[in-house]
Structure 1
Amino acid sequence: MSNIVLDDDLFDAQFVRALAYVRSGGAELGECLGTARRITKTDGELWYREWLATAERAEAAAHAATTAGDRVGARGAYLRASNYFRTAGLFLMGKPVDERFRDTSHRQTAAFRAGAALFDSPPEILAIPYEGTTLPGYFFRAGDPDDRTPRATMMLTNGYDGTVEELYFANAAAALERGYHVLAFDGPGQGSVILDQGIPFRPDWENVVTPVVDVAVARPEVDADRLVLVGWSFGGYTAARAATGEHRLAACVADSGPYDLYDATVSRIPGVLAHQLPDGNRLALGVLEKAMESTMRKPSAGWALRRNLWVHDVADPMAFIELARDYTMKGREHLVRCPTFVAHTLGDDISADAPKLAAALTCPVEYAEFGHDDDVTGHCEMTGRAVFHERLFRWLDGVLGQHPEAP
């Protein structure tokens, strides 16, 4: 599929990501198209300025609607502002932390909370106990807010560069429409946990999810026998990894994650240099290191690597490659017991090995491949989230044996 607006593949993909939330209330077509068209070159500074301007315009509209007593208008404008603030800061990610990124991150949270407070059933803001600190989260109730009948509950975990607030647009809204309660959270390496607490990623996500499950099952409105964990992007790995050790899950969803982070990383390195990893010819490895450091300085091509070094708290690209070995499902597939949904979009190199994961799992597996027949493209099915959700929830209805709102 050719790019929609922007010439650079990554810039266009991130534009599509922002635009994808029209259906869940996080974007407006004209605002997104207008912003993208003003980004006339592959420049992270220009990206930041234009999306920030759009975010602030939506925020101002929210304030005006609030003053006028327009609850619906204020809610919608705050939610759009949240998505746009998050989008504005994307290409500033890295270390040391750019204070403008800190500002847009905090403003996206504030805007989301202002909008969510205007929901018919506002979410509960959570501080989930975790190893001497807390993880940020939200609990969204489906249906009548006074109804405490236990329901199926979807737990949402993120990837590398999302936020717990974005999870509402990506998955929570669709789950709430179908009668699921939702518990969304950020873990180590994600959102405010890395930004404000400085806690980096860890590979053993079962030790992250277990405290979250403890919080979920303690709630009377949660059916502890119908708890679903959904991870998207890098969360497609962490969700599957969590299911190897946390066995209170009724189902797991690995949406577009890597099977093995080392393999996914090395697949992007030219073969002649990749073959020298980890302890090959020193001259060749030196060339690779210099090439990666050069790439890191490029606004688009180097973004993922800059981001990865920050969220994993490593000093250089070679250290990241070595660390990536710890993030694998190889040899652990048999430990997943619950039914698992594995998703992949054709052409998405991040989840290119999803078929291998699906084939290696020994639990009941549903492998869902999206592509030309569905008119779905992009990482995490970004041009077809509704198509993804239709297929996912049909499968979940079968796994859970009944609709989520059934007692």
Structure 2
Amino acid sequence: MHLFDDPLFQMHAERALTLIGRGGAEYGECVTTAGHIRAGDRDSWYRAWSATASRVAAAAEQSAAQGHRVSAADGFWRATTYNRMSYQPLFGSPVDPRLEAAFKRERDCFGRYAALAPHPVELVEVPFEGATLPGCLCLPDSARGHARPTLVGVNGYDSNIHEMYWAHALPAVRRGYACLLVDGPGQGRALVQQGLRMRPDWETVLRPVIDYASGRPEIDAERIAVMGWSFGGYLAPRGVSGDQRVAALIADPGLFDPVDVLPLPPELKEQLPDIDPEVLDAYLAPVADDPVMRWRLVQRALWVHGLDSLGAYVIEMDRYRLSGAAGRITCPTLVVANDDDPLAAQAELLLDALGGPRTLVRFRAEDGAKGHCQAWNRSLFDQRAFDWLDATLRVGRHGEG
């Protein structure tokens, strides 16, 4: 599924391609869109994906007007993806007005999908520090009148609840779980429209989410599991370390002290956090020469954290550590390691530091699950993760226990 020679554009395109198996994109639509994009041209990228999103959404509107709910839902679901695709390369601060406009269109399309989805999908607001965080509560039809075991999804850097829906909610609901997705500070709407920045003390974020979940009659407060993906592999464990109500945890991948894997010489790492950021800036300057790393760090990370230099970013990341918190995690925990995912390099460090029952699940190239967070074989990941979760929460058929 190679669409671009440009490594940055190919990386972004794969975010859509991996959704094909779950109805979030179509290969033909992706190929056609790619044909209208000039190499390295972010403007043509934005125009092409926006045009595809508009065309697919318009067809969905027509189906909805004629009472074809399934066709309309399918179209709005794909249009959600294509709108998100359009603004990915535009990440950065100050926020590009096109990113804000495309994000609003993405939210609108997902809202239309939610109203037509084959199972209950409720857009919710979770109280948080005098404001609210955007959430999405997804339920199996069998949940009506019954409190269900529930998966709470914790996001990473550059995703949102709409993308988490296919990765977390769809497999959870199929197995009889309720699923609550929430964007915290530095994620989704909380970042784009509310200006909330990422923070290391995720226990302050997860606690009100669990409060909200525990108050919903559809959710079994004794069987709430938390799953973090991507940078959520740090955020979810950090959050659970401060909340003993969580019954199970999945870290995909398992992160520990992410700053320790940054490509810095020991003599600079030893000076953290008291080092002069300009010293780090000088060392890290070549990062900007690589388009993928420039997007990940200069555009994305500085925006998410509200910083203005790579040196300041490294110093900030020194605050993101599980080495002092992992021992407080006493619930059963599944730690994911993938040989193809550099972020999984510290998975066994997290495993060894946990204070409760722990299981390591490893994905290898021969499993066909390459890519960050097993992007190219989420079905295999779901099988292993949810089978473990079923056994841990004593969940039987249809999510009943």
**Shorter chain as normaliser: what TM range?**
over 0.9
User: In the alignment, residue 261 of structure 1 is paired with which amino acid?
Assistant: P
CA distance 1:366–1:35, change in 2 (3 Å): farther
Which is further off, 386-395 or 67-76?
A: 67-76
Shift of 1:235: 0.8
Q: Is the 8 A contact 1:42 1:299 kept in 2?
A: no
Contact 1:91-1:299 within 8 A present in 2 as well: no
Structure 2 CA distance for partners of 1:121 and 1:218, relative to 1, 3 Å: same
Deviation at 1:273, TM superposition (A): 8.4
Shift of 1:45: 2.7
Aligned 8 A contact 2:200 2:235 in 1:
yes
Structure 1 segment 181-196 matched on structure 2, within 5 A: 181-196=178-193
Q: 1:347 to 1:63 in 2, by over 3 A?
A: same
**Residue correspondence of structure 1 range 161-310 to structure 2 within 5 A:** 161-256=158-253, 258-264=255-261, 266-267=262-263, 269=264, 271=265, 278=272, 285=280, 287-292=282-287, 294-295=288-289, 299-305=291-297, 306-310=299-303
Which residue is 2:63 aligned to? 65
SS of 1:350's equivalent in the other structure is helix
Any unmatched runs of 5+ in structure 2? none
| 1:231-290 superposed Cα distances (whole Å, 9 cap, x missing partner) | 1111111001111111111101111253222123x23x5x49856854679996453254
| Rounded Cα–Cα distance in structure 2 between residues aligned with 1:158 and 1:112 | 17
1:105 aligns to 2:98 (yes or no): no
Q: Which amino acid aligns with 2:159?
A: G
**Is 1:6–1:37's contact at 8 Å kept on the other side of the alignment?**
no
Q: 1:338 to 1:280 in 2, by over 3 A?
A: closer
Q: How is 1:366-377 mapped onto 2 (pairs within 5 angstroms)?
A: 366-377=359-370
Hey, what's the Cα distance between the residues in 2 that align with 1:263 and 1:272? 10
Residue 27 of structure 1, aligned match among 25, 28, 43: 25
Deviation at 1:53, TM superposition (A): 2.0
Post-superposition Cα deviations, 1:125-154, rounded to whole Å, max 9, x if no partner, equal 211111110011011111246x22111011
Q: Could you list the per-position Cα deviations for residues 317-338 of structure 1 after superposition, in whole angstroms to 9, with x for gaps in the alignment? A: 1111100011111122211111
Verify the 8 A CA contact 2:137 2:178 in the aligned structure 1: yes
CA contact (8 A) 2:337 2:345 kept: yes
CA contact (8 A) 1:13 1:378 kept: no
Q: Does the C-alpha gap of structure 1 residues 342 and 4 become closer, same or farther in structure 2, counting only changes over 3 Å?
A: farther
Kindly provide the amino acid, as one letter, of the partner of residue 193 in structure 1: A
1:406 is the counterpart of 2:400 = yes
Q: Which whole-Å CA distance do the structure 2 matches of 1:406 and 1:240 have between them?
A: 26
Which residue number in structure 2 is paired with residue 396 of structure 1?
389
Aligned residue for 1:302, secondary structure, equals helix
Paired residue type of 2:360: Y
TM-score normalised to structure 1 length? 0.91
Q: Could you say if the C-alpha distance between residues 366 and 40 of structure 1 is closer, same or farther in structure 2, counting changes exceeding 3 Å? A: farther
Q: Among residues 31, 34, 37, which one is paired with 1:36 in the alignment?
A: 34
- Tell me if the contact between 1:277 and 1:285 (Cα under 8 Å) persists in the aligned partners: no
What pairs up with 1:317-328 in 2 under 5 angstroms? Answer: 317-328=310-321
Q: What letter matches 1:170 in structure 2?
A: A
Whether contact under 8 Å (1:276, 1:285) holds in the other structure is: no
Secondary structure, aligned partner of 1:165: helix
Describe the superposition over 1:296-327 as per-residue Cα deviations: whole angstroms up to 9, x where unpaired: xx643311111111111112111111000111
Question: Displacement of 1:360 after TM fit?
Answer: 2.5
> Bigger shift: 41-50 or 225-234?
41-50
Q: Is the 8 A contact 1:59 1:77 kept in 2?
A: yes
Instruction: Verify the 8 A CA contact 1:43 1:299 in the aligned structure 2.
Output: no
TM-score by length of 2: 0.93
CA distance in 2, matches of 1:43, 1:350: 29
> Number of residue pairs matched?
398
Tell me whether 236-245 or 50-59 shows the greater mean CA deviation. Answer: 50-59
Q: Which amino acid aligns with 2:376?
A: T
CA distance in 2, matches of 1:187, 1:131: 11
3-state DSSP of counterpart to 1:334: helix
After superposing the two structures, state which structure 1 stretch, 10-19 or 302-311, moved more: 10-19
